[in-house]
A and B are shown apart, each in its own frame.
Chain A
């Protein structure tokens, strides 16, 4: 394993990465989980994240970027502290997914993949999140919220705005 001095990650995350690479027969297998956990900590996959992960896995930065660009949950720009992801795929669409999305746009004053000025919220229209039987549904960071109504969405957003929701990490 490459020795990492001056890791950009917290010691807990660095230790987690040291462990992750030992789990698989080939250490490159740890790449996608590492990118996700790095994003959770840094807020996005920054250039410095790419550099350190490439070093940890003995990959070219190009290899890392090649994988990074494939997966829709990985981003190279900061999102809001709370990333609101509204599903509009078929099951959600049939039960008002687009109304929920429009409501969020109006409520937050931002559109798809935009961030509020204070950096608290970002919004995304996403594909099916696997909550079809409890539609319409959305995720805020990794938390699921389902059987949504516009009233329920208002309450959820206020909870996060008040700092009571769970942070990404």
Chain B
């Protein structure tokens, strides 16, 4: 069972009900549960505008990784639509280093349900789906129980809170596929198909699930909505940094003394997060590198981590805030091995739909495999960089970029380590040939 952690610098908004038994609806109600959705309904005719304006004022940006302003996303859904509209909650949390939605589903599933209802009211949808990754079966059971409680109280179903509006929620899991965390692939999966991405445009807000206008948000984004409506958009925005409203759950893992999921204000200093909040590097070792937002984010060197954790500051630092999964590497880690493990994941998870990603991840993996096993050639480092650069921006979905970006970070920032590794292993080791590589597939 995931252990809860705490630090005085935390600002508990989304995590304020964690550890208090709020998975039970009565406890959730005691802790201001389902008040936000009732407040929204009390706005009467202005309900949708009020919700969207509050969300816009909050400065909340998508917590899945892309950082798109949530209020704006909701406002893109057309008011009139011949086809039904849907809300889709992305709980397919699969980015290595990320386990924040895990704790939300475990400790506060009703906040996800209430957030789904709020998104539904904002866009005029009557149905929402909560999709968890397949490995989260025990969490699905918690969410299913919460949904059943909400139906039993009459909060879901027909005429919710006397508004005259209906809202239903369906929950399910996937069956093991990172790619399904991409929004269009998730819609394919929910339609009972292979999780391959769709070309955009059209965007989901116009043509989404079952061809209807769809709002798709990360589970943490959705779970933030009730808190924002309760505290007010401006108050939420004020907690964070410029153009990055509020707080977010950061999962700090790897070589730190106190790994865990911490809720910190947006813009909080990364160095402080590692050294103060997570207790510094494990066993007094030296820091070697930080992967700041899940495995797809380019690596940062120790001298680059004095930076604020928000979408803009991380972008300026040449990396991304991503999914908030901060992975810390101490001095003992071999970057060659780490880069190989990273690309092996993306190679395994590439759905094969787009050739640059399917072939690029495979050849980078093969090349790094031969480097790691001592059969690398000097040109391999440049070749890996060439392959990665040619994947960027050339695929339907961002998986190709997610594989290329960290790879480029490793070979650019640790080039000497790769070269020394190849040089050091060379004595007496023949270069593994292309034929051997292909044969080993």
Binding site for B on A (CB under 8 A): 23-26, 28-33, 35-36, 57, 66-67, 70-74, 88-91, 93-95, 127-135, 139, 142-144, 146-147
Contacts and interface: CB of A to CB of B under 8 A. Distances in A.
Interface stretch (B41-49, B111-119, B189-197, B431-439): B189-197
Leading 6 A-B pairs by shortest Cβ distance: A73-B176, A31-B192, A71-B175, A28-B192, A72-B176, A142-B137
A25 B351 contact: no
A135 B253 CA distance: 8
Interface residue tally on B, bucketed by range = 35 or more
Nearest to A129: B135
B133 to A, nearest CB: 7
A130 B102 contact: yes
Nearest to B101: A130
Nearest to A135: B253
A22 B180 CA distance: 23
A122 B210 CA distance: 38
Contact of A91 (B1, B177, B254): B254
Contacts of B240: none
Nearest to B127: A25
Contacts of B38: none
B177 A72 contact: yes
A84 B252 CA distance: 25
A35 B173 CA distance: 11
Given A93-B341, A133-B2, A142-B138, A67 B97 contact: no
Given A73-B134, A93-B338, 17 more contacts: A25-B84, A25-B127, A29-B190, A32-B174, A33-B172, A33-B173, A36-B175, A71-B174, A93-B341, A94-B328, A95-B254, A128-B98, A132-B96, A133-B260, A134-B99, A146-B2, A147-B3
B16 interface: no
Interface in B104-156: 127, 133-138
Given A67-B194, A94-B327, A142-B137, A133 B210 contact: no
